[in-house]
Chains A and B, each alone.
Chain A
């Protein structure tokens, strides 16, 4: 069974204080690892897909990386608008569902 564990559960940062979120996973036949952002009262919003170890993707202050066992979401010089819950999910060999981690709640204080 596919499993995803995210750490830490919560992260408080000062504006400009860079940090990393971890996503550890076990999956049979990785078709893709996905990062989403979720704001309170809204549905998850797609950020990145990573397909193979060594791959990196960037978007503004966010950078996602992938190894065979984990993914990192690096937040560089965060701003208060980066405050959200970040979700990691894997798509396994069957291709019929995303398995999500519990998320990391990020709060960036000005």
Chain B
């Protein structure tokens, strides 16, 4: 089954304790992206990657890191989490294509709470 898989689904941590949220897709998509979803603010892009070893900042990159060493994986790293990073996180992927307008496929989300 074609899918984007995120782990863990739920995570509670304390301020300053480094964590990684994993994301893997089995559709051979070039493009991958991370979004966070907050009440009243909607979905906002954190980072994206057009292909292996190519990453760039989205609208809200502060406090986050990513890496793209393999095509299928795009982990999100919080080196020193803070309470304002409490949110629902989504990983997504799509075919790159010449027009960039293939639909994004989303994972089922990771709910992160930082105390």
A: residues with CB less than 8 A from B are 31-32, 34, 36, 41-46, 49, 51, 87, 89, 91, 95-98, 100-103
Report 11 cross-chain contacts, Cβ distance below 8 Å, ordered by A residue: A31-B100, A36-B106, A43-B90, A43-B107, A49-B103, A51-B101, A96-B56, A97-B33, A98-B43, A100-B44, A102-B42
Contact B48 A97 (CB under 8 A): yes
B113 to chain A, nearest CB (A): 15
Contact B43 A46 (CB under 8 A): no
A-facing mask of B40-75, CB < 8 A → 1, else 0?
111111001010000010110000000000000000
Residues from chain A with a CB closer than 8 A to the CB of B41 are 102
User: Among residues 69 to 108 in chain B, which have CB atoms less than 8 Å away from a CB atom of chain A?
Assistant: 90, 92, 99-101, 103-108
A42 to B110, alpha carbons, bound, how many Å? Answer: 10
Contact B58 A46 (CB under 8 A): no
A51 to B109, alpha carbons, bound, how many Å? Answer: 28
Residues from chain A with a CB closer than 8 A to the CB of B58 are 97
